[in-house]
Amino acid sequence: GNGAPRGGLCAGSFIKPRIGTRNSGDVVQGWDAGNDEPDWVITAAHCLRDKNNKDTKTNTTGPEQLTLIAGTFDVAAINRHIVTIGQVIVHPDYDPNTMAHDIALLKIEGIKAPDEQSDFIPRSIQLPARHMMPIVNRDLSRQRVTGWGRTSEGGRVSENLMVADVPLYPRAACQEAYSQVGGSVAPSQFCAGYSTGAVDACSGDSGGPIFFDDRTNPVATSDAPILSGVVSWGFGCARAGAPGVYTSVSKEMTWIEEVVLGQ
């Protein structure tokens, strides 16, 4: 996660592209949750835009304005990694009005380990392959969202990482619900939550991951966690009929690979 003292609190996910070769010599691309240091952070575009500045050429937060911490569940812990960012890349089609393409990439310059031994080392989460929906063989009734955001609407942000499990919300019902409050849900977004509310992401969780983690699901086949979405927005938090809205990572893979693999 990252905490910017002068701006808002947001979260993010580490990724690392892995380019290798198969026996045949074909180049294959993968997005492994590897042991190597991550190269990039995926977060939300709205975490990096100054709302008071409407000039899209100048309103993006610069790398030097970001404080990014990692390797800890407790944001106040001293044994945390400090991540320096070299480049901030906001999705070119990010629309602050509809929140479409609310996604950004941060190029990692370096990761400084704490002097005190930390409990956790920064690792990356697996991304879906290009054009492949991340939902193959995954349990749609249960995706896991994490963050240090508010623990209730209007409540306080959390010092410790919080976890919530939410089901995919039917697209038509989500579009219908948000059209009534003047919002919209684009094809590059999806909704998750219960129709009765009660479990949700909230402000401060933005930019962080929603992912399939079948390792923690007793009724699913076990596999590596895979990032399915980025926490983006919602009408309040945990309200009935107002699920969380997420940027779909699988729908953004063409752009991500373009940036990260330089294609």
- The residue among 64, 56, 124 whose CA lies nearest residue 90 is 56
Residue 28 CB, nearest approach to ligand 4AZ (Å): 35
> Is 101 a known active-site residue?
no
Return residues touching ligand 4AZ (CB under 6 A). 200-203, 205-206, 231, 233-234, 237, 244
- The residue among 204, 162, 179 whose CA lies nearest residue 74 is 162
Nearer to ligand 4AZ, 106 or 242 (CB): 242
Pairwise CA distance, residues 148 & 74, whole Å: 9
CA 238 to chain CA centroid, Å, is 19
Nearer to ligand 4AZ, 200 or 252 (CB): 200
Pairing assessment for the beta strands 104-112 and 81-90 based on DSSP bridges: antiparallel
> Is 124 a known active-site residue?
no
Residue 131 CB, nearest approach to ligand 4AZ (Å): 27
Residue 38 CB, nearest approach to ligand 4AZ (Å): 23
> Is 232 a known active-site residue?
no
Nearer to ligand 4AZ, 229 or 234 (CB): 234
What φ, ψ does residue 46 adopt, rounded to 5°?
Answer: -70, -15
Both structure tokens of 175: 């579009």
Pairwise CA distance, residues 50 & 32, whole Å: 33
What residue is closest to ligand 4AZ based on CB? 234
Nearer to ligand 4AZ, 68 or 202 (CB): 202
Distances (CA, A) of 99 to 63, 161, 188, 230: 22, 25, 10, 12
Residue 20 CB, nearest approach to ligand 4AZ (Å): 36
Residue 233's DSSP bridge partners are 245
Nearer to ligand 4AZ, 9 or 15 (CB): 9
C-alpha dihedral (52, 191, 247, 179), degrees to nearest 10: -50
Selecting among 206, 232, 248, 250, the annotated active-site residue is 206
Selecting among 13, 46, 124, 213, the annotated active-site residue is 46
Residue 72 CB, nearest approach to ligand 4AZ (Å): 21
User: Other C-beta atoms within 10 Å of 217: how many?
Assistant: 17
Positions marked catalytic:
46, 102, 206
